[in-house]
Structure 1
Amino acid sequence: MPAPGTPLQHLGFLTIGSFDPTDPRPGHEATLRVVELGEQLGFDSAWLRHRHLQPGISSPVAVLAALTQRTSRIALGTAVTPLAWENPLRLAEDLATVDVLSGGRLHPGVSIGPPMHWDDVRGALYPDTADAEDFTYTRVERLLRLVAGEPAASFSGREGVAEEWSDRVQPHSPGLRERLWYGGGSTRSAQWAGQAGMNLLTSSVVKAEGDRTDFAAIQAEQVRAYREAGGTGRVSQGLVVIPTDSATADQRERYAAYVAERTPRTRSPQGPARLLFAADLVGSSEEIAEALYAHAGFREVTDVAFALPFSFAETDYEQILTDIATRLGPQLGWTPV
């Protein structure tokens, strides 16, 4: 048994929501069922990745709207929505609407930067304004102000017989501003999130800054930088964990092959951005708990949203989530809702 530290307060999971492009409905329905299962198992939160032009959920807000009607307790989040693809005013309206439908359970996570494959999509995404678009933190600040209820227009009041106009986003959902998260992978982004009064999402990817290549140490430093910059919100870590306690022999073999294929990328920084990927954790819940307690990044948080592996079957997710909720979570001091 690993030596217990501070009990884990919030246990969540993250899914990409994969589907067959030739028949997308079954995959989307499977994602809904997986989140329903997460609520039944007592998870605190379920998060959807955002994937554009890929066979993964392209519109998490729409899927989360469906989930507000199929769940009643579990927090629902995005991890993360790349704001380069969004108009902050329209997104603020969508988020507020889903938050109202959920009864105040929405936890939107966002990030900045140009869209991936920008040169390939700019003509379709911003045919007239590509060179004028601002993909900096300013885009997040616009969203924060609009969600908080600051003016979105210069006119309000009655027009004609029955038209009522508001100068702020409708519906307005009090409390949503405090539930916004920033997905950061660098010291600068962690600091900015702290200064902006946002919660911080850390994941299985960080930037290798300088000559350092120790993922856990870099992630821990980023969390501390968030707090030193004034961040008082929640901080959540999102590693990939695959407990095998109740897995079949076939599942264990496939899980091991999946991790082996992904492991080489964890050994050195990848690409021009020098991204460092965390190693996937596979094994018994006791083994994973021991690895987490030895992880400097994990020791800085009391929230996690463990990422489910890509492209697994629904039965695999059922086994993994059940083991996380009934075995790994309790090993980390967590109590299901």
Structure 2
Amino acid sequence: MKRIGFLSFGHWTPHPQSATRSAADALAQSIELAVAAEELGADGAYFRVHHFARQLASPFPLLAAVGARTHRIEAGTAVIDMRYENPPYMAEDAGAADLIAGGRLQLGISRGSPEQVIDGYRHFGHLPAAEESDADMARRHTARFLELLDGEGFAEPNPRPMFPNPPGLLRLEPHSPGLRERVWWGAGSRATAQWAAAQGMNLMSSTLLTEDTGVPFHQLQAEQIQLFRDAWAAAGHRREPRVSVSRSVFPITDDRDRAYFGAEAGSTDQVGILEGGRARFGKTYAGELEQVVADLARDEAVAAADTLLLTVPNQLGVEYNAHVLENVVRHVAPELGWR
């Protein structure tokens, strides 16, 4: 069975046509959509993290709330920008949220995307070291975060502590066993996918790649996935890795769908410039149910992944997004043999 979840950016804007007019709306509706997704039989509720934007930002209160309100689905991120993160504090927050969720967290992290402000991570107190890029800093933060999730003691205990300590060096608490294996790297290229495999992280690949070889997006992404799996095997990791891809999928089943996404039928890949380099963006899958099924059946990367994240237009509200999820989970997925 292929896991199917949703991915929300949590946009909000004070506009009369938006269902999310405030940050409070975006947060509350994110939780309600996760509850609805579980009831529909979906497998995951994932959220994007962007700073300095009218979107979801601090993820762990939201993940903890989703974990407390649901019982089965995964609660995750896609992705957290590690340039902004304090690894010890993040490890504590992640451990607490995972324990609240009963071990259902799936943490997607990455170097990050183009920012809303110039060097926004500096406002969070993080500066690249000498001869270090911001991407290097993100990987340094990641290495420390992964070490902390291993749960090994590292801090010398106070000989006169306020409370009794267990023997030996102390680790951060709360510690959630198994969370280290549920960390994913959002890789934008084939090379970063191979690096993620070497670090023992799962692969999360979105609807864009920061390179272009002239082949269709789904084929380039399928190549990325295969290179990741080859690098994983070469690294000698003992467990099987997981791989997710994101897609915009909108079966047209009623007049609302047609009004919102009818114009997207026949969408194609886009090639553009991102941070000075060529990038390829995947198409939107919109059309009648039979057409969407046929298009997804030809998507080599979707076939290669074990998890599909459906990007949702959260500003259209919980009820409409639950309708989109229901169309995919209960109608498209069975036709493709995923259910």
Within the candidate set 251, 263, 275, 2:257 is matched to 251
What TM-score do you get using the length of structure 2 for normalisation? 0.86
Q: Secondary structure at the match of 1:54?
A: coil
Query: Corresponding residue for 2:223?
Result: 221
Q: Is 1:294 paired with 2:280?
A: no
The AA in structure 1 aligned to 2:181 is: E
Does the 8 Å contact 2:250/2:257 carry over to 1?
Answer: no
- More displaced, 21-30 or 318-327? 21-30
State the Cα distance separating 1:159 from its structure 2 match.
2.7
State which drifts further: 106-115 or 89-98: 106-115
Tell me the residue number matched to 2:71: 72
Matched, 1:172 2:175: yes
In 2, distance between residues paired with 1:221 and 1:281? 21
Indicate the residue corresponding to 2:160 in structure 1: 159
CA contact (8 A) 2:26 2:56 kept: no
Whether the aligned pair in 1 keeps the contact of 2:78 and 2:108 (CA below 8 Å) is yes
- Aligned match of 1:137 in 121, 139, 142? 139
CA contact (8 A) 2:98 2:176 kept: yes
Q: Distance in 1 between matches of 2:26 and 2:115?
A: 24
Where does residue 3 of structure 1 map in the other structure? Answer: none
Report if aligned partners of 2:52, 2:117 keep a CA contact under 8 Å in 1. Answer: no
* 1:30 is the counterpart of 2:48: no
**Structure 2 unaligned blocks of 5 or more:** 15-20, 234-239
The whole-number CA distance in structure 1 between the counterparts of 2:178 and 2:148 is: 13
CA distance in 2 between partners of 1:92 and 1:124 (Å)? 21
Are 1:19 and 1:28, in contact at CA under 8 Å, matched by a contact in 2? Answer: no
Q: Is the 8 A contact 1:251 1:316 kept in 2?
A: no
The equivalent of 1:91 in structure 2 is 90
Partner deviation per Cα, 1:86-110 (whole Å, 9 max, x = no partner)? 1111111110000011110101010
TM-score (norm 1): 0.86
Q: 1:172 to 1:100 in 2, by over 3 A?
A: same
2:280 counterpart residue number: 276
Is 1:233 aligned with 2:248? no
User: 3-state SS of the aligned residue for 2:137?
Assistant: coil
**Structure 1 vs Structure 2 CA RMSD:** 2.4
**Could you tell me which of 182, 196, 206 is aligned with 2:209?**
206
SS in 1 for 2:69: coil
Report the alpha carbon displacement of residue 119 of structure 1 after superposing the two structures with TM. 2.5
1:184 paired to 2:177: no
**Deviations 1:219-242 (CA, angstroms, capped at 9, x unpaired):** 011001101102540111111111
- Tell me the alpha carbon deviations over residues 7-46 of structure 1, each in whole angstroms, 9 at most, x when there is no partner: x421111111222366322222111111100000111111
Q: Segments of 4+ in structure 1 off by > 6 A?
A: none
Identical residues among aligned pairs (%): 31
- How far 1:195 moved relative to its partner? 1.0
Q: Secondary structure at the match of 1:324?
A: helix
**Structure 1 stretches of 5 or more lacking a match?**
1-7
| CA shift for structure 1 position 316 | 2.0
